[in-house]
Chains A and B, each alone.
Chain A
Amino acid sequence: MPSPELRTEAIETLLRERGVITSEAVDAVIAHYERDVGPRNGARVVVRAWVDPEYKRRLLADGTAAIAELGYGGPQGEHMVVVENGPRVHNVVVCTLCSCYPWPVLGLPPAWYKSPEYRARLVREPRRVLAEMGLALPPEVEIRVWDSSAEIRYLVLPERPTDTTGLDEAALAALVTRDAMIGVAKVRAGG
């Protein structure tokens, strides 16, 4: 079997010769997903919810509309549901059938999210999987797993660390990781 590089080149050439695509259009898509979208978008949403209770209320009531207020939406984010973590509840998102993921707020998913290990195990032994990934949750915390197998996309609203008073929105956003918005980590005050 030829290498993926050669196979990709062959199919791109074929589609270009058929007039279906141009190399410029391919470059533009890549640039968009490498530069313009990514977890910094989601971090802005999270921080706004932390600092603005009225925004948080809107975000939890209608995630799609509240996220659109900050300018984010589009493919793989047409209908967003935001689920809130708290002292007794921890939410975590997976897609067992493929690798559905909220592109407009988190960008494209990391390799581990797309791995057979994560997809197979998270819906069966979430507490063990999270512990293996470095997030040991006490037994009294309920884990809520969201298998986003249809077109609805889920974003986890992590808890704000307690010792972050006085930080502005930009400083808070720097603390919010992609993994905390998937639900496999918490936000730490030290980043």
Chain B
Amino acid sequence: MDGIHDLGGLEGFGPVPYRTGEPVFHHSWEGRVFALMLLAGAPNIDAFRHAIERVDPVTYLTAGYYGRWLAALERSVAEKPATSGTRSQAGSRRAVGYAPRFRVGQPVLVKEVRTPGHTRCPGYVRRRRGVVEIVHPAWVFPDTNAHGLGERPQYVYCVGFDGRELWGDGAEPGARFHIDLFESYLDAVA
């Protein structure tokens, strides 16, 4: 979904609220929300992330990180009242019986990925050309797994982009951008 969570490149934000020496949790409820989400929050990590994405945009930007988690936890519990605490801890890396479709150095074009559901293809790289820099192992596909539509494991590629490809003539010089993308998001460039 094209939600507020897809923040990469959005303009208008001020300075990063940078400070050192923060505690792990600023309030005790934050730690409890963190632990509850880990223990019983959602059937898998993709469904959990999708629950956070669906927090309304104003709350998303103003409630803070664990405020978002709390809202997502409430939604998850309401949507899945029979949550049994058997959330998979197996991780999401999988072995697959096919060879990677792309190789290191290959130019690729990111598809115009649009879905009302969950995806890990951010808006700022869609329809942009990059080059495969790393072929990672295969992982569960979040776009289907978040919705109980199967794991559909596939290779993940680290794709590198020039600043100008992403941001046009105003791009900062001397920067390169790398992002991990699932095979389904990519097309070969002829």
- Chain A interface residues toward B at CB < 8 A: 4-5, 7-9, 11-12, 14-15, 18-21, 25-27, 29-30, 33-34, 38, 75, 78-79, 81, 96-99, 107-108, 110-112, 114-121, 123-129, 132-134, 139-152, 177, 179, 184
B190 near A: Cβ within 8 Å? no
Complex Cα gap A62–B27 (Å) = 37
* In the complex, chain B residues 1-37 whose Cβ is within 8 Å of any chain A Cβ: 5-11, 13-20, 22, 24-29, 31-36
Is residue B38 within 8 Å, beta carbon to beta carbon, of the partner chain?
yes
A residues in contact with B137, CB < 8 Å: 79
Question: When the two chains form their complex, are residues A75 and B91 in contact, meaning their CB atoms are under 8 A apart?
Answer: yes
Query: Would you list 18 pairs from A and B whose C-beta atoms are within 8 A, ordered by A residue?
Result: A5-B27, A8-B33, A15-B77, A19-B85, A29-B35, A34-B24, A75-B91, A96-B7, A111-B17, A111-B65, A124-B167, A127-B175, A139-B173, A145-B177, A147-B179, A152-B180, A177-B20, A184-B18
Query: B84 — which chain A residues lie within 8 A by C-beta?
Result: 20
Encode contact with A along B150-190: 1 for CB under 8 Å, 0 otherwise.
Answer: 00000010100000001100001111111111100000000
- Does B39 sit within 8 A of A, measured CB to CB? yes
Answer whether residue B116 sits at the interface, using C-beta atoms and an 8 A cutoff. no
User: Which chain A residues border B70 with CB–CB below 8 Å?
Assistant: 4, 7-8, 11
Given contacts A7-B74, A34-B31, A120-B13, contact A148 B36 (CB under 8 A): no
Residues of the A chain whose Cβ atoms lie less than 8 Å from the Cβ of B61: 116
Cα–Cα, bound, A19→B22 (Å): 34
Residues of B within 8 Å of A119, CB to CB, are: 7-8
Q: How many residues of B contact A (CB 8 A)?
A: 72
For the complex with contacts A18-B83, A112-B17, A141-B174, 5 further pairs of A-B residues with Cβ separation under 8 Å are A5-B28, A11-B77, A33-B34, A144-B178, A145-B176
What is the CB-to-nearest-CB distance from B55 to chain A, in angstroms, rounded to a whole number?
12
Q: Is the CB of A117 within 8 A of B16?
A: yes
Is B40's CB under 8 angstroms from A120's CB?
no
Q: CB of B67 within 8 A of chain A?
A: yes
- In the complex, what's the smallest C-beta–C-beta distance from B120 to chain A, in angstroms? 5
Q: Which of A5, A112, A149 contacts B19 (CB 8 A)?
A: A112
Minimum Cβ distance to chain A for residue B14 (Å): 6
Contacts A11-B74, A148-B180; A117 near B13 (Cβ below 8 A): yes
**What is the distance, in angstroms, from B29's C-beta to the closest C-beta of chain A?**
4
- Residues from chain A with a CB closer than 8 A to the CB of B139 are 150-151
User: Which of B10, B26, B91, B167 interacts with A120 by CB under 8 Å?
Assistant: B10
